[in-house]
Amino acid sequence: MSEQVRSHDELSDDEVIGAASLLLAQRGHRQAAALMLDATSVRIERYTVHEDSMSFSYDREYQEVILELEPHLIHNTGYLLKDIKSAFETVGAGCERSIEDVQIREVIPRVGPNWRDQLVRELKGGQQTNQARKIRLEPRHPMEDGLHFTNEWEHRVYLVLKEHQARLPHNDSIGIMPLGALRVPGHTFEPDFLITFRGRVGVIEVDGPHHKGRASADRSRDRLFKHAGVRDVDRLCVEDSTTKEEVEKFVIDFLKHLVG
């Protein structure tokens, strides 16, 4: 007996949120997809409004997505709302749900009778936070040396970079920063790898198969990196670099151009 497939209009709120998040990742909107994971909570709220016209009146329901974020994540997320709203509208249309808006709200701190002590600790420095977002677009995202990677392609590039690092002398080595948040005028980006070598800074982007059709956006992003002092930006297409030897050649060429 074949398994019965549910229709899209039977999706739960959590499934709608999950479908929209995956759609963001598939569209290449990685920062917006990562924001869905970083959110303390994501929920869909329903509202009923009464509409009046000259001939009749009726009650209409609409839905709104609420993302709650910690204060250190909420800064400069407004430009991601357009992509997130588009994804929810697409999923909502597919399951006959009127999702009309997405709102980002700040998480309200939990306080108790000793809130003054909490405030003193916060004013003295509070908790240290990592500027990099917690990229976890895959259920089992790769990890190495306490570092997170979006996918296996990035992990493989990291292993090649790490091997190259080990072959260099300690006083002439490279620094490897995967998925570190980088602020440039008007945007906060997360390059796949920020590389330091001999006083120079470069960026390596690992482009997967879903990256097609984004050449114009990539050029604009690369230009912003260079205007902010990044000496070289290079892109490794995983479809053209299927062997470790090809990745090693890419890394060697990248470092040569970075300090050349």
Residues 165 and 97 in one domain: no
Residue ranges in the chain assigned as alpha helix (H)? 13-26, 30-38, 71-74, 81-94, 115-123, 152-167, 215-227, 244-259
In a domain, 226, yes or no: yes
Residues 161 and 246 in one domain: yes
**What confidence category does residue 126 fall into, taking pLDDT thresholds of 50, 70 and 90?**
low
Say if residue 167 is exposed, middle or buried (CB neighbours under 10 Å; 0-12, 13-18, 19+). Answer: exposed
In a domain, 207, yes or no: yes
Q: Which CATH number characterizes residue 149's domain?
A: 3.40.1350
Least confident stretch, 51-55, 99-103, 153-157: 51-55
Once rounded to an integer, what is the mean pLDDT over residues 19-45? 90
Q: Which CATH number characterizes residue 75's domain?
A: 3.30.300
In a domain, 133, yes or no: no
Residues 19 and 64 in one domain: yes
| Residue where a domain terminates, one of 108, 132, 157 | 108
Residues 89 and 169 in one domain: no
In a domain, 147, yes or no: yes
Residue-wise pLDDT tens digits, 130-177 = 434 555 444 457 888 878 888 888 999 999 999 999 999 999 999 999
Length of the chain equals 260
In a domain, 135, yes or no: no
User: Which residues in 126-154 are b (16+ Cβ under 10 Å) and which e?
Assistant: eeeeeebbebebeeebbeeeebbbbbebb
Cα–Cα dist 197/44, whole Å? 47
The tokens of 131 are what?
Answer: 């500027």
The SS3 call for residue 90 is: helix
pLDDT reported for residue 7: 46
In a domain, 138, yes or no: no
DSSP-assigned letter for residue 138: S
Q: Which domain holds residue 207?
A: 143-259
**What confidence category does residue 1 fall into, taking pLDDT thresholds of 50, 70 and 90?**
very low
Task: Give one word for 36, left, alpha or beta, with left for phi > 0 and alpha for psi -120 to 50.
Answer: alpha
Number of domains in the chain: 2
| Residue where a domain terminates, one of 85, 108, 131 | 108
Residues 233 and 181 in one domain: yes
Task: Give one word for 80, left, alpha or beta, with left for phi > 0 and alpha for psi -120 to 50.
Answer: alpha
| Residue where a domain terminates, one of 93, 108, 123 | 108
pLDDT reported for residue 116: 86
> Who wins on pLDDT, 47 or 204?
204
In a domain, 128, yes or no: no
In a domain, 132, yes or no: no
Q: Residue 55: CB partners within 8 Å, gap ≥ 6? A: none
Residue-wise pLDDT tens digits, 142-154 = 888 878 888 888 9
Once rounded to an integer, what is the mean pLDDT over residues 14-18? 93
